[in-house]
Amino acid sequence: MLSQASATEVTEKKAPFSESKIAGGRNYAALGYSALPFIAGIAYLGASSTTRTYGPSHWFANYRHGFMRRALVGEAFSRVAYLSERTVHRLEVALFAVICVLTALAFRKILFGSIPERRFAAFLLAAPAFLPHMAYMDGELDSFLYIALLLGALALMRLPALPGLAMATVFSVVGLLTHEGFALMFYPLILVLALDLMHSRQLKAGWVATHLAVVILCFAAIVHFGALPGTPGQWIAEAQQRTDMPIEGTVFLVLHFTLKQQLEFVRHLYSAKVVGSILLTLVICIPYFFILKRLLNKTFAARGYSAGHRLLVMLLFACPLALTVLGHDVMRWVSALCINISLFLLLVYRSMPQKNDSQSVLTGWTAAPAYAATLLYLLALGPFGIAGNRFVSNIGSLFGH
């Protein structure tokens, strides 16, 4: 009969999934956590055909007749004489591939770290608001905005203070030129990270104030000088000559609107069905929001933020919700909020000293049974869409028949 010590030794030798092996990358089963966010995204790639019509219609706005907002991507594609629908679809797939590669490279040390780290990254990246949402809404300008945000945030956190802030300014302006909504959707994360660097005395307040002033001036100039030249009908006709994909006329119509017209237009889009879909989606995703808030509180405590600092950060994270006045795409704005929080958690975790107690505070919860249950629940719900999520959309289609 083996003694207890001997039995333990034999068990350890035979255990194929020991955490030490997983942390070292020698166990291929551990790749499941690392690959989960990307598999969850690919599962919904191309699942929403309507967004492939509306989103890529922006690709046909350009500076041919003068400067206009939201035309940077279209200007890049303007050198291509004809973009067939098949080519557009291939470009969408390539765009999501770029997003996946950049995200994997940015957080590779977490995605391929210890088991708790892999679980932590998998939960944040595979959640309904992140990579599955990016895939589901592929073709929207949001994808380009996310790339600008990620590159700007990485520059701010990885490069020396002043060069990092300068690069973050450049990528923020690129984001604004892509879509002025970047100012409320994703730019708040840049400010939150700048405040974190100020808190740790790595950035001076004067530098951040100058950066903010440049971004505000660029935003004001883009909005003021970026009105649609000509009529929406002219742009739609020109765009349709360059593709066999149906051009969504609303894209150019809203560029022609005044603020008053935009508000009136959006008001009619908030039908009872849309509002009900949004509310139901928010209710069934409460566990997701609860965990993000809990992780934020732990991060605030680990960084030693004051009450005022915490309040300011929460207000900045809530900025995307202000866009609900200008567009009924409420779950897009909620997704932006959740993406900002998730990136903040990952970037701050990445900046912490290795094997720090603060790191274990953020990853330790992943060992609890509730982690797996919540992750499976969120994966089953599917990605956020425009005014709901995949689960709510399916339920609506079921009762609609």
pLDDT digits (tens, 9 = 90+) for 313-351: 999 999 999 999 999 999 999 999 999 999 999 999 988
Bridge partners of 389, per DSSP, are 384
Burial class of residue 107 in the structure, from the number of CB atoms within 10 Å of its CB (0-12 exposed, 13-18 middle, 19+ buried) = buried
Q: Is the pLDDT reported for residue 50 higher than 60?
A: no
* Rounded percentage of the chain residues whose pLDDT exceeds 70: 90
392 versus 209: the higher-pLDDT residue is 209
**Residue 334: its pLDDT value, please?**
97
Distances 207 to 210, 250, 330 between C-alpha atoms, Å: 5, 40, 34
| CA dist., res. 99 & res. 228, Å (int) | 30
- What is the band of 401 on the pLDDT scale with cuts at 50, 70, 90? low
- Number of other CB atoms surrounding residue 265 within 10 Å: 16
- Terminus-to-terminus CA distance in the chain, angstroms? 67
Q: Give the dihedral sign, CA 76/78/79/83.
A: positive
| CA dist., res. 322 & res. 184, Å (int) | 7
Average pLDDT of the residues of the chain: 89
**Residue 102: its pLDDT value, please?**
97
C-alpha closest to that of 240 among 73, 89, 56: 56
Is residue 10 domain-resident?
Answer: no
- What is the band of 304 on the pLDDT scale with cuts at 50, 70, 90? very high
Instruction: Record the tokens describing residue 52, joined without a space.
Output: 């492939």
162 versus 51: the higher-pLDDT residue is 162
12 versus 262: the higher-pLDDT residue is 262
| CA dist., res. 321 & res. 317, Å (int) | 9
Which phi-psi region, left, alpha or beta, contains residue 382 (left: φ > 0; alpha: ψ -120 to 50)?
left
pLDDT digits (tens, 9 = 90+) for 147-194: 999 999 999 999 999 999 999 999 999 999 999 999 999 999 999 999
Is residue 22 domain-resident?
Answer: no
What 3-state class would DSSP assign to 389? Answer: strand
Answer whether 223's CB lies under 8 Å from 69's CB: yes
For residues 251-275, average pLDDT: 91
For residues 21-48, average pLDDT: 76
Range of the domain at 91: 28-400
| CA dist., res. 193 & res. 187, Å (int) | 10
| CA dist., res. 200 & res. 221, Å (int) | 33
Residue 247 DSSP one-character state = P
**Residue 8: its pLDDT value, please?**
42
CA dihedral defined by 327, 288, 343, 117, rounded to 10 degrees?
-160
Is residue 95 domain-resident?
Answer: yes
Is residue 20 domain-resident?
Answer: no
Q: Give the dihedral sign, CA 178/180/184/190.
A: positive
| CA dist., res. 45 & res. 65, Å (int) | 34
- What is the band of 291 on the pLDDT scale with cuts at 50, 70, 90? very high
Residue type, 383: P
Is residue 6 domain-resident?
Answer: no
**Residue 2: its pLDDT value, please?**
39
Is residue 170 domain-resident?
Answer: yes
Q: Is the pLDDT reported for residue 21 higher than 90?
A: no
Is residue 98 domain-resident?
Answer: yes
pLDDT digits (tens, 9 = 90+) for 68-93: 999 999 999 999 999 999 999 999 99
H, E, C per residue of 292-342: HHHHHHHHHHHHCCCHHHHHHHHHHHCHHHHHHHCCCCHHHHHHHHHHHHH
pLDDT digits (tens, 9 = 90+) for 211-248: 999 999 999 999 999 999 999 999 999 999 999 999 99
Q: Is the pLDDT reported for residue 26 higher than 60?
A: no
Is residue 13 domain-resident?
Answer: no
Number of domains in the chain: 1
Burial class of residue 1 in the structure, from the number of CB atoms within 10 Å of its CB (0-12 exposed, 13-18 middle, 19+ buried) = exposed
- What is the band of 357 on the pLDDT scale with cuts at 50, 70, 90? low
Bridge partners of 384, per DSSP, are 389
**Residue 359: its pLDDT value, please?**
74
Residue 113 DSSP one-character state = S
CA 238 to chain centre: 32
